[in-house]
Structure 1
Amino acid sequence: MTATAEPRVLKHQALRAQLETLLDGMSVGDPFPAERELAERYNVSRETVRQALRAVLLEGRIERRGRTTVVAQSKVVQPLMIGSYTEAALADGRSASRILVGLTQHTADAELAAALRIAPGAPIAQLERVLTTDGYRVGLETTRLPADRYPGMLDNFDHTSSLYAAIMARGIDFERTEETIDTTLPDAREAALLTVDARTPMFLLNRISYDQNDIPIEHRRSLYRGDRMTFTTTLRAG
């Protein structure tokens, strides 16, 4: 048995197509019409406009700037790989930097200790930074390191530089990673740091990196804006 009925096109889906056509004739940074203007222009309800705008926002074609909406630059395409976020962005021809949120000392709870194969209560160095690309705040990265393994490394660390490079300078090679990817919404603090609405969908990446001796190097939690980032990977048979 086969399905023959044509799928129903909802009002907001039809409007989304019209908005994308409108965007094709606009440039990055141009102000995008307000909800009321769009509702009047296309003779639809404000709710239909909101649904269509949300889809276009998630596609990365528009962005919120306070109470206004403008045409956005294309999304950042980030390969899933072992390496520095900055290096990947620069290889894509974009500018990239980091904003320091905090460098703090903690002790490992049971879960983190198990992940890093250290004793519960062992000292942890935590580095938290906002990731920027082309002036956009696109991610929030929190890295936790076993402090005893990296004595003094972060004392004079340039927070805008690559932590990977600083670790590798100590003769530690990144051999493999284990990573999980989920979707989530930011909490109030995360939304403020990334200057986004709390309803903005996020990619949540949790990674544990291992060295050439299969010893855990770091635990990293990365939160990326779903409206500004796209992730890619290559899978090979066998």
Structure 2
Amino acid sequence: MVVDSEPRVLKHQIVRRNLDAVLDGMAPGDPFPSERDLAEQHDVSRETLRQAIRELLVAGRLERRGRATVVAESKVVLPLAIGSYTEAAREKGLTATRILVGWSVYDADDALADTLRIDAGDSVVQLERVFTTGDVRVGLETTRLPAYRVPGLVENFDYRTSLYSEMRTRGILFGRVVDAIETVLPDAREAALLTVDARTPMFLLNRVSYDVDGVPIEQRRSLYRGDRMTFTAVMEGE
């Protein structure tokens, strides 16, 4: 069996390259031409054109605003590190805030208790927030903390600020984190909270944070829009 070393270039990929070149000359917020006009211009079917546009949406070069398609802002590039998303975004000169989804307090099940090194049935505080950058909803974060470590958090914490900063004021210092990252699609609720199509690819980050003594601080589940976010990591040799 002979395998062709030259991969086949599909028609929609050729169209996408042409559209990429068009986008290079446009500014964020500019309206993108209609599917009908583009299909006629490139002499392809509407379905082929939609495939090309879909790839540009996933790549973060285009975005939907209601029924309109416009040129997107550049992706937000942040380091994958211990710290606050909002603080990191603001350090890059970006506007960033949080929208409260809700607080809850409940008893830990066996799995969560094992992760947080507490007893099953112990109280856990859960905080769920949406992260925004430039008025665009880019992430959904659910943080679970042992209640004994954060007395008064629900009543006194300003959800618009950094939880990491709040923990520091309580004398709790982050020593290390363990992250697991994968790509997923949002469920219906998550898509609604992030105001995206349910086919939008997401980065899912599951994190357990530990203090300087190795005691768990939090279990966090963060869902970030793949079309709006890019993460970097720096690794150094020994």
SS at match of 2:153: coil
Partner of residue 233, structure 1: 233
Aligned counterparts of 1:78 and 1:110: Cα–Cα separation in 2: 34
State whether structure 2 residue 127 is matched by structure 1 residue 127. Answer: yes
Partner of residue 25, structure 1: 25
Partner of residue 46, structure 2: 46
Partner of residue 161, structure 1: 161
5+ residue gaps, structure 1, are: none
Partner of residue 219, structure 1: 219
Aligned counterparts of 1:46 and 1:114: Cα–Cα separation in 2: 52
Counterpart amino acid of 1:150? Answer: V
Q: Alpha-carbon deviation of 1:6?
A: 2.8
Aligned counterparts of 2:119 and 2:35: Cα–Cα separation in 1: 55
Aligned counterparts of 1:60 and 1:209: Cα–Cα separation in 2: 30
Q: Alpha-carbon deviation of 1:3?
A: 7.3
Partner of residue 184, structure 1: 184
Q: Alpha-carbon deviation of 1:107?
A: 1.2
Q: Alpha-carbon deviation of 1:7?
A: 2.5
1:133-148 mapped onto 2 (5 Å cutoff) = 133-148=133-148
Q: Alpha-carbon deviation of 1:179?
A: 0.5
Partner of residue 66, structure 2: 66
Counterpart amino acid of 1:168? Answer: R
Q: Alpha-carbon deviation of 1:67?
A: 1.4
SS at match of 2:102: strand
Q: Alpha-carbon deviation of 1:34?
A: 2.1
**What CA deviation, in whole Å up to 9, does each residue of 1:19-46 have, x standing for no partner?**
0111111111111122222111101111
Seq. identity, % = 63
Counterpart amino acid of 1:101? Answer: V
Number of equivalences: 237
Aligned counterparts of 1:204 and 1:157: Cα–Cα separation in 2: 25
**What CA deviation, in whole Å up to 9, does each residue of 1:103-141 have, x standing for no partner?**
111111111111000111111111000000111100000
Question: In angstroms, what is the RMSD of aligned CA positions?
Answer: 1.3
Counterpart amino acid of 2:49? Answer: V
**What CA deviation, in whole Å up to 9, does each residue of 1:54-90 have, x standing for no partner?**
1111211110112111001000001100000011101
The normalised TM-score by structure 2 is: 0.96
Q: Alpha-carbon deviation of 1:156?
A: 1.6
Partner of residue 152, structure 1: 152
Q: Alpha-carbon deviation of 1:149?
A: 1.4
Counterpart amino acid of 2:105? Answer: Q
Counterpart amino acid of 1:26? Answer: M
SS at match of 2:94: coil
Partner of residue 93, structure 1: 93
Counterpart amino acid of 1:178? Answer: V
